[in-house]
Amino acid sequence: MGHSRGVPGPRGQSDKGDRKGHDAMAPESHPYRDVVVAGVFNTAQARRLPGHTSASITVEAVHGALADAGLGLDDVDGVSAADLSARLIHDLRLGPAWRGTQYGLGMIAEAALAISAGMCDVAVVASGEAGIHTDRAATAPWTRPENEFVIPWGLFTAAEFALVARRHMIEYGTTEDQMATVAATIRNNGHANPEAVYHGRGPYTPADIRASRPIAEPFHLLDCAMTSEGGCALVLTRADRARDLRATPVYLLGMAADSYGPAYQHPPAYDLAGRTARDADDRAGTVGRRAADRAFRTARLGRTDVDVLELYDPFSFEVIRQLEAFGFCAPGEGGPFVADGHIAPDGKYPATTDGGLMSYSHAGSNPQMLQRAIRAVQQVRGTCASTQIPGARVALASAGGSGALFNQVALFGTERP
């Protein structure tokens, strides 16, 4: 997949960013240009973290991210930590403080907007889960179906995403081999990553993926994310404080999110469409399409400006789906696109370079959605211990997926937008 890296294309040029129907304007002044991501940190990640609670591992992540930024708890006046926000404000004695309410990548955009709007100056965005996964006989406990119209049918995360993947196979001829290529690529990134839970477990070929035991067809065990524990945090602050900071400041260039409804309550039908669908490709199977268009518009960037894709990888298929939904290839072309090596570390769009949810960590329900963003920040800083993409200046991170009826997209870079 030889191609030249580190030669930036002309900025702001649209390639696939101007698909029809996108009539909203980019904001006049960039919403996050006065905000920087100043610190990031992942705690140790493991299948289990004995002795830790969700709060203790989250606080460890907060300390780590503040140290990375060169700041301390005394500097913090904003906290976003999902259901731990209020407790951390109280127990770390951070009040009075701004309190975030979002989840996943939305936490980062919400904190950046709060700083832009003058609601706080230094916000920690943190999440951690530990001591929760005690029921080892069961699959991902945070995504169990919870209503009477899904639970008796044995629906769970892998089956949800499999129902979407099956439609993609029917409509476009996507193959298990193409999905296995995704899993092998990402797992090999984790194999090379000393911080990954499954460091050294590879290398894998697509045939190895397909030889693993079936879970929910078309997915085999190695097509699926793991379950694990861990914490992570980011620190955001005003750009004019950058001289106080230790690390290269990173900017949030754009962020947007799409939802088609509650996760794990309705069958995830590929063709579920809303009343504002612009065309046949506006449906739950392409969730994230609108979000990506909007994130790129805010960033004033095109797809070819992106150097690395930290795609959320709950299942191999979901990477194929997001490449299409986000406009890196046309609908239906995701399978051949990955088979051609585009997402390999030396490909045009290296993907999920730390090993992702499959091999790095799938920490709880919320932390793992932030970890794609942390890796994106590390990539544009140029500080990744493994699979650093040379000259990476713009990185995309995503979270959520079709089986859960939502998708979030964020763009990070070192150039002030």
State which of residues 270, 315, 317, 328 lies at the interface with other proteins (CB under 8 A): 270
Residues 366 to 405 in contact with other proteins, rule: CB under 8 A: none
CB 123 within 8 A of CB 114: yes
> Is there binding between residue 148 and other proteins (CB under 8 A)?
yes
Residues 155 to 184 in contact with other proteins, rule: CB under 8 A: 155-156, 158-159, 162-164, 166-167, 170
CB of 53 or CB of 139, closer to other proteins? 139
The residue whose two tokens read 């930590």 is 81
Residues 313 to 342 in contact with other proteins, rule: CB under 8 A: none
State which of residues 105, 216, 234, 410 lies at the interface with other proteins (CB under 8 A): 216
Burial 339-370 (b: 16+ CB within 10 A, else e): bbebbbbebbbbbbbbbbbbbbbbbbbbbbbb
Instruction: Supply 38's token pair.
Output: 């100043």
> Is there binding between residue 154 and other proteins (CB under 8 A)?
yes
| Min dist. Cβ of residue 213 to other proteins (A) | 7
CB 372 within 8 A of CB 360: no
Angle at 125 between CA 81 and CA 91, to 5 degrees: 50
> Is there binding between residue 152 and other proteins (CB under 8 A)?
yes
State which of residues 138, 280, 330, 385 lies at the interface with other proteins (CB under 8 A): 138
- Piece of the chain touching other proteins by CB under 8 A; list 92-100, 142-150, 200-208, 276-284: 142-150
CB 50 within 8 A of CB 220: no
Gyration radius (Cα) of the chain, Å: 20
State which of residues 95, 214, 262, 391 lies at the interface with other proteins (CB under 8 A): 214
Instruction: Supply 146's token pair.
Output: 């919870």
Q: What span, in angstroms and rounded, lies between the C-alpha atoms of 75 and 94?
A: 9
| Min dist. Cβ of residue 209 to other proteins (A) | 15
- Piece of the chain touching other proteins by CB under 8 A; list 81-89, 116-124, 216-224, 248-256: 216-224
> Is there binding between residue 217 and other proteins (CB under 8 A)?
yes
| Min dist. Cβ of residue 142 to other proteins (A) | 13
Q: What span, in angstroms and rounded, lies between the C-alpha atoms of 353 and 235?
A: 22
* Binding footprint of other proteins, residue count (CB under 8 A): 35
> Is there binding between residue 153 and other proteins (CB under 8 A)?
yes
The one-letter amino acid at 241: R
Q: What span, in angstroms and rounded, lies between the C-alpha atoms of 412 and 223?
A: 27
The residue whose two tokens read 């329900």 is 365
Quote the strand ranges of 65-121, DSSP E.
Answer: 78-80, 98-99
Q: What span, in angstroms and rounded, lies between the C-alpha atoms of 234 and 100?
A: 13
> Is there binding between residue 274 and other proteins (CB under 8 A)?
no
Instruction: Supply 385's token pair.
Output: 């211990």
Instruction: Supply 138's token pair.
Output: 């069961």
CB of 8 or CB of 149, closer to other proteins? 149
* Partners of 410 in beta bridges: 255, 397
- Piece of the chain touching other proteins by CB under 8 A; list 50-58, 204-212, 213-221, 384-392: 213-221
CB of 73 or CB of 272, closer to other proteins? 272
| Min dist. Cβ of residue 275 to other proteins (A) | 10
> What is the binding site for other proteins (CB under 8 A)?
137-139, 144-156, 158-159, 162-164, 166-167, 170, 213-218, 221, 266-267, 269-270
